[in-house]
Amino acid sequence: MDIKQIGQIGITVKDFDRGVAFYKEKLALPLLFSTGNLAFFDCNGVRLLLSLPEKEEFANASSILYFTVEDIKDSYEELVNNDVRFLDEPHVVAKMGDTETWMAFFSDEEGNTHALMSEVTIS
C-alpha cells in the first residue's frame, strides 16, 4: 500500500443547514455540491465533507483543522467581522530559526474547534 494524500476530511455536524451556512458563508469555502445530508467543500484541493452522524457514537466534535493563511492578523479581523467566534487572538506558538508559527483558534457553529495558521519569516 502506498498512501498518497488525504482525499477528504469529514466533519460531523448536529444541524446540517447551520453547518453548511458556516463553512459557505462565514469561511467562504466553495461548495462543490450537496446531496441529502452531505455537503462537499473545496479548501484549495482538499475536500471537506459535512454530514450528520450516521450513529450516535459518531456525534463527537471533529479533529482540529488548521487553515493556512498568508496574513493571520488580517484573516482574523475579517472572520471576526463575519461573526466567527474565536477562542483566542493570533499568537506565536513556535519559533524555528527565522520562522514563527502563528495560530488563532475558533469554533464553528457545531462546537468543532479549528485554527488559522500562518508561517511568518522574521527579519
Q: What pLDDT score does 2 carry? A: 65
**DSSP summary character for residue 64:** P
User: Which of helix, strand or coil describes residue 63?
Assistant: coil
What are the tens digits of pLDDT across the range 53-107? Answer: 877 766 776 788 889 999 999 999 999 999 999 999 999 998 989 999 999 999 9
3: confidence class by pLDDT, cuts 50, 70, 90 = low
Task: For residue 49, give every residue at least 6 positions away whose Cβ sits within 8 Å of its Cβ, in sequence order, or none.
Answer: 8, 9, 10, 11, 38, 39, 40
Non-local (6+) Cβ contacts of 4 within 8 A are none
> Are 28 and 78 spatial neighbours (Cβ–Cβ below 8 Å)?
no
pLDDT at 57: 66
In this prediction the pTM is: 0.79
d(CA 63, CA 76): 20
- Average pLDDT for residues 3-11, to the nearest whole number? 81
**31-51 pLDDT tens trace:** 999 988 899 999 999 999 999
